[in-house]
Structure 1
Amino acid sequence: MRIAYVSADRGIPVYGAKGASIHIQAMMRAFEALGHEVRCITARSGGEGPFSVETVSPSQSGADREAKERAAMAQAEAIAERLETLHSDWSFDLIYERYSLWSAAGVRAGARLGVPVAVEVNAPLIDEQRAFRELICEAEARALESEVLRGASLLAAVSEQVATWLRQQGAGADRVQVIGNAVDTRAFHPGIEPNASVPDGAFCVGFTGSLKRWHGVDTLLTAFRALRADVPEAHLLVVGDGPKRGWVEGFVAGAELQDSVTLTGWVDHHDLPPLIARMDIATAPYPASEDHYFSPLKLYEYLAMGRPVVASDIGQTSALLQGSDAAQLLPPGGAEALARCLRELAKSAGVRARMAAASAAEGRRHDWIDNARAVLDHVAARRSAA
């Protein structure tokens, strides 16, 4: 099969280092691992790499917010046109597009060419844009969203919360499938040797991800300070960077935890496994939220590495870990409960060993190749039923 992969979001370079870019690369690699040919048409490549990637350059630039939004729409339409010309030279069987705010490129080209279109939906982007940034051309954004939701053969929602939102927006329930994030189990596995600046013999509590308020790093630090009072050998390994870095450093200094906290700063994705391998407990301490709709990559990486997980009982995190011996789920934002849980686990190597074994087994069930196969199976089933 030939697959045209579309990424029309200018803010997500194909060869970037953050989670969205990792997701793009992982899905293309997974499709290829299944024996399919993949070509990517994108608004921004971000450099060079192992995949066949073609950038459709913007025809407009934007001096203000409205101009930038209209330029993004024009670039997406140019991507749709490029898909049509590509099809005449390289007849593809499927368009796979990562849903972006200003693009209906995949569904437009698919309708014109008679090619099925799978759209991967990671978030309600209009809601995000309104809440965290600025949105001028809202009517146009909603029209594009409606066009995508109506025209896609498959809407692959990253979580049940996103799937619910899609159905609320009018997407046919038979076209919506939950396909969460995943992990490359060849790169993340329990056999990797630890390599981190953590003292030998320390009970290492770990965290990976952006240092943002909705990742719960404040809850983690508060809990760790309480843990140290009873478990002096505890050490906190924080892998990542972000807007709360200064706050984190200030907290650590104020609590006199400098010798028991390691802040790595930003780390390339391929350097994560040895750091995670050093963690005795891997955490995802999300705060309470009414719209916790994302599917955290870190959880799949923790599991694939065979790390015992302590996480908030919220959203897709609950769906992934509920009932599993790999994790202990706690009330979101509860620093006292987190400290108590970590304290108990520090004193119970046997429990940690059982959790680690269950974690590794669960992690093996969530490879990106499984996601790619699920997408293709759902598309094939839709075509057979048509």
Structure 2
Amino acid sequence: MCDAAGRGVRPVPRRLHSRRGRVVKIAYVCADRGIPVQGNKGASVHVRAITSALQRRGNDVVLIATRLGEGNPAPGVGELVVADPLDGDAMAAAVGASGADVVLERYALESGAARRASAALGVPHVLEVNAPLVLEASRYRGLSDVDAALARERLTFEEVDAVAVVSSALEEYVRHSSASTPVRVIPNAADVDWIASSPPLELGPGVALGFVGSMKPWHGVTHLLDAFTAVAATRPVRLVLAGTGPEEQAVRRRVDSDPMLRDRVSVLGVLPHDRVGSLLRSLDIGVAPFLPAVDFYFSPLKVREYLAAGLPVVHPGLGELAEVVGPAGVSYPPGDVTGLAEAIAALADDPGRRVTLAAEAVRRSRRWTWDDAARAVEELLETTLATTGVS
């Protein structure tokens, strides 16, 4: 919770020293009004996970956010502060009060105040880029004057001291805007131990398929329903859909209007993240039915969490999905509903193969955890502190 002045409580004790022999104070800024820290969307999970992991590793993290939201516990950071990203004075005050050695900001269309505050205070500013936000906003949210927004974005990438991105596609995107800014790829991760220890639920008979995530058009839930309808016509399968988004109501209407889907599909809506582990442990197959995209830049949390739960993953051949999933899943041609149905059917018909792929999923999930991601962030911050002469 925060008081009227926006100063936050300290959910966990501050560390006295880090593995490097001194506390590295990090001001993590989330200026995106659409990402409540305690919310349920993947971006909120990422903010909580990476800041908590950085704190656990011995850093002193002050999380400065625009919205707290609700639905999940606050992250385990040194301090949680609410500040208006458009109020330069408030942001400068929050960053200054943090005593930070470095500012790590999750890139938002509202970004700017944190950069000015870090420059005024003489501390490095590292930007975390999780999507090409201007292009997303122009495609899906009606952003006007795209050229001006791209120019602002280009200036932002040029002015920061370093950039962390979640995929190689985003690395290319950032380098196209600013060839001189250091960029490091640090993919999303999963809380492997928590998911593995979550008690499974009872979902009923049949092979259980699952989708957990945001129901945005490009996430392909409609295609998944099409494929599931074909598979369910001849096989005892069930489908669980967890999450919300622009497609949710259309999905509910379709399920409610079809007797077979109504009997076999569960639409759970918003699910607090602390219940996701148990749901995933109850499934037999995880599905990530992304639609075709020429610039697939995602590092999907859902795929990392499917693997951590020991789920074979059905996915399109897009971006780095094949590299992440490897032999722990089945790939199909992007946008091919028949191919998606065939991939699901093949796994539904072969329990032995599912067991083999599940073991590989768990093995692969342990190759990259939130602790690994936090360590990579530390390395980037330490390099930036050294090269800027602040360390």
* Aligned partner letter, 1:181: N
Once residues 253 and 28 of structure 2 are traced to their aligned partners in structure 1, the CA distance between those partners, rounded to angstroms, is 43
Cα deviation per residue 1:134-177 (whole Å; 9 max; x = unaligned)?
4457576445423321222221111111111111112426x111
Once residues 281 and 45 of structure 1 are traced to their aligned partners in structure 2, the CA distance between those partners, rounded to angstroms, is 33
* Aligned partner letter, 1:53: L
Q: State whether residues 227 and 341 of structure 2, in contact with CA within 8 Å, keep that contact through their aligned partners in structure 1.
A: yes
Residue aligning to 1:370: 372
Shift of 1:38: 0.8
Once residues 25 and 211 of structure 1 are traced to their aligned partners in structure 2, the CA distance between those partners, rounded to angstroms, is 21
Residue aligning to 2:345: 343
Aligned to 1:195, which of 189, 198, 201?
Answer: 201
| DSSP 3-state at the match of 2:381 | helix
Aligned to 2:134, which of 126, 132, 137?
Answer: 126
**Is 2:283 aligned against 1:260?**
no
Residue aligning to 1:298: 302
Once residues 139 and 214 of structure 1 are traced to their aligned partners in structure 2, the CA distance between those partners, rounded to angstroms, is 24
Residue aligning to 2:356: 354
What percent of counterpart residues are identical? 36
Residue aligning to 1:81: 92
Residue aligning to 1:69: none
TM-score (norm 2): 0.85
Cα deviation per residue 1:74-129 (whole Å; 9 max; x = unaligned)?
32x2354225532xxx5322211001112223332333333222211011111222
Map 1:284-323 → 2, pairs under 5 A: 284-321=288-325
Once residues 92 and 232 of structure 2 are traced to their aligned partners in structure 1, the CA distance between those partners, rounded to angstroms, is 59
Shift of 1:300: 0.8
CA RMSD of the aligned region, Å? 2.2
Q: State whether residues 238 and 261 of structure 1, in contact with CA within 8 Å, keep that contact through their aligned partners in structure 2.
A: yes
Once residues 249 and 83 of structure 1 are traced to their aligned partners in structure 2, the CA distance between those partners, rounded to angstroms, is 43
Aligned to 1:3, which of 26, 36, 43?
Answer: 26
Once residues 209 and 296 of structure 1 are traced to their aligned partners in structure 2, the CA distance between those partners, rounded to angstroms, is 9
Q: State whether residues 104 and 147 of structure 1, in contact with CA within 8 Å, keep that contact through their aligned partners in structure 2.
A: no
Once residues 129 and 244 of structure 1 are traced to their aligned partners in structure 2, the CA distance between those partners, rounded to angstroms, is 17
**Is 2:243 aligned against 1:240?**
yes
Q: State whether residues 95 and 114 of structure 2, in contact with CA within 8 Å, keep that contact through their aligned partners in structure 1.
A: no
Once residues 226 and 317 of structure 1 are traced to their aligned partners in structure 2, the CA distance between those partners, rounded to angstroms, is 24
Residue aligning to 2:8: none
Residue aligning to 1:185: 192
Shift of 1:255: 5.9
Residue aligning to 2:231: 227
Aligned to 1:117, which of 106, 114, 125?
Answer: 125
Q: State whether residues 124 and 162 of structure 1, in contact with CA within 8 Å, keep that contact through their aligned partners in structure 2.
A: yes
Shift of 1:241: 2.6
Map 1:162-173 → 2, pairs under 5 A: 162-172=170-180
Q: Which runs of 5+ in 1 are unaligned?
A: 58-71
Q: Which runs of 5+ in 2 are unaligned?
A: 1-23
| DSSP 3-state at the match of 2:191 | coil
| DSSP 3-state at the match of 2:320 | helix
| DSSP 3-state at the match of 1:262 | strand
* Aligned partner letter, 1:358: E
